[in-house]
Amino acid sequence: MAAMLEKMGAENVDEVKMLEGHIEHLKAEITSLQHQKEEIDRDAMFHFKGPMLDALLIVCRQTQDKDEEVVMSKLKEEVEELEKDFRLQTEMNGIIVENCKIKTLFRSEGKWIRQVCVSLQCSHMVFQVDFQVSETKEGPTSEKKVIGLNVVLDSDDLQNCSGFLSRVEESLDLLLLFRTLRNFSDRCDERSRTFQHFQRLDGDASPPPESKGW
């Protein structure tokens, strides 16, 4: 009987040690997640201001000094204004953003590297632009620069653009890319309209009168 009790006691000790190990592992994981959350919160606080920052402070429960209803109302107004500006920009440049995904690849004290994947459409052209942005924060200011660029065009008519795309990817010039694609799209639209115009003329042309002979 004593031997059995001793064996059970040893098994309980082993089980307790195993549970203590699990608890320590969970504590370490919780601490790591808390640090990640703090970094994300600091990142968000740095990049936003005005009603957006106020809303984030409320959501993160970092302030109780502001009226939540007033803050959310102002945030809604700001979002509506941004949507209006976005539609205006789309009308001006002719480029429609179909989808946009942003992923943080690296984060350290004062530095971020993000991967941005944007699916776009310009006239009949559908393309995807993937680029990496490095951002360094120094005091109250930050510096952003593109450090990687890849362009994928979903069109069989653009095989001759491979040289241009290679130069753009090497120079990391996003502005040149969008301007050139817009101009190229405009030229394609003009060519298509011209072709359709002459096609309609040929279709509407009256057949020559039949010869009645002598």
Q: Are 129 and 149 in contact (CB under 8 A)?
A: yes
Rounded Cα distance between 81 and 71, Å, is 15
**pLDDT the model gives residue 186:** 80
Give the pair of three-digit tokens for residue 126.
């559908």
C-alpha–C-alpha distance, residues 88 and 107, integer Å: 34
Digit-coded pLDDT (tens) for 28-77: 999 888 877 776 666 655 556 666 667 766 666 666 666 667 777 777 78
Whether residue 207 is predicted with pLDDT greater than 50 in this model: the reply is no
Most confident of 10-19, 71-80, 174-183, 197-206: 174-183
Distances (CA, A) of 128 to 49, 99, 122, 157: 30, 9, 11, 16
Q: At what angle do helices 68-93 and 51-59 cross, to 10 degrees?
A: 130
Phi, psi of 101 (to 5 degrees): -125, 135
In this predicted model, what pLDDT tens digit does every residue of 152-181 receive, in sequence order? 877 665 566 778 888 888 898 888 888 887
pLDDT digits (tens, 9 = 90+) for 105-118: 887 777 888 888 98
Q: What is the pTM of this model?
A: 0.57
**Cβ atoms 55, 75 nearer than 8 A:** yes
pLDDT of res. 130: 92
